[in-house]
Amino acid sequence: MAWYKREEREDELSEEKRSVPAGVFTKCPGCRAALLTADLEKNDLVCPQCEHHFPMPAAKRLLLVLDPDSFVEADAGMESVDPLSFRDQKRYADRLRAARRTAGGADALLAGSGRIEGTPVEVGIFVFEFMGGSMGSVVGEKVTRVFERALERRAPALVFSASGGARMQEGVLSLMQMAKTSAALGRLREAGLPYISVLLHPTTGGVAASFAMLGDVIVAEPKALIGFAGARVIQNTIRQRLPPGFQRAEFLLEHGFLDTIVHRKELRATLARLLRLLGPDAAGMAAV
């Protein structure tokens, strides 16, 4: 009868496991603690034990950083198409439809106008849930328009980057966005208007190799992965072991690639202070 009792006990254990609804707890990848999801969300998706910064949805980040009810979305209806009729295991058109359902938005960038402690800003926030925040033609156009609206309204520009890089399904059209966004940023810089780049986890590929690393001030969240090629690709190419912490925000700060690392709870106050310090154009804007 031992086999029967053992099986019965396993059934009881599985029933106990099933008694906890899915999503009630979230495991922290930093310290492995089991956190109540509701408490984690109240803490701005930062682990209260080890300070690990979980990914934050773009809409929630807007609420965290911008003044209440100040955000006005721009270019909401812009959607990617399939100019190359690309297909791998799935058609690109099918991937786009699935991504819109998953992310709940038109593409991988949310952009518009808002205020931070009263200072008008033009802002773009990557939506990593949409195909890994990859940059295709539409994302590149929307980032370019962030800079163009900032130039037109004499307002500072602010971009939160979280991206796997250029979107391969659009080929060279996606790579062209690196030059396009950088050129628009150059015009903003010539006009003496500030651009603050905030690097989130992860910021890689063509986004990291263009406007993300061209900020007048470059801010990162703790332990964000930032770089162009992946660490394994680099290691296999140069045939050398990479140093500890390579491509993490702390490593980049130590080697001069970043200006500062800011805890999520301090980000709004830090951005407001930077906007006040970046000159008269940042402090005395016309109303949005």
Query: What are 162's two structure tokens?
Result: 């979280």
- Phi/psi at 155 (nearest 5 deg)? -120, 155
The predicted structure's pLDDT at residue 22? 79
Comparing C-alpha atoms, which of 24, 131, 137, 111 is closest to residue 59?
111
Instruction: Please report which confidence band the pLDDT of residue 161 belongs to, taking 50, 70 and 90 as the band edges.
Output: very high
Query: What does the pLDDT average to over 95-108?
Result: 95
Query: Considering the chain, what percentage of its residues have pLDDT values greater than 90?
Result: 86
The separation between CA 270 and the C-alpha centre of its own chain, rounded to angstroms, equals: 18
Range of lowest pLDDT (33-47, 210-224, 225-239, 249-263)? 225-239
Spell out the alpha helix ranges (H) of 166-266. 172-190, 205-208, 231-238, 249-254
CB-based contacts of 275, cutoff 8 Å, min separation 6 = 116, 117, 119, 121, 156, 194, 196, 282, 283
Band of residue 80 on the pLDDT scale cut at 50, 70, 90: very high
Task: For the chain, give the mean pLDDT.
Answer: 91
* 121 pLDDT higher than 60: yes
Number of CB atoms found within 10 A of residue 196's CB = 24
Residue 124 φ/ψ, nearest 5 degrees: -130, 135
Q: Is the Cα dihedral 105, 107, 113, 116 positive or negative? A: positive
Indicate the DSSP class of residue 265: G
Q: How far is CA 137 from CA 102, 170, 171, 174, 279, in A?
A: 20, 8, 10, 5, 33
Supply the pLDDT for residue 287. Answer: 34
Q: What is the pTM of this model?
A: 0.88
Q: Which residues pair with 68 in a beta bridge?
A: none
Closest CA to 194 of 257, 116, 282, 258: 282
Q: How far is CA 5 from CA 2, 8, 18, 99, 244, in A?
A: 5, 5, 20, 47, 50
Of the pLDDT bands very low, low, confident and very high (cuts 50, 70, 90), residue 230 is confident
| Helix (H/G/I), strand (E/B), else coil: 126 | strand
Nearest to 184 by CA among 153, 213, 145: 145
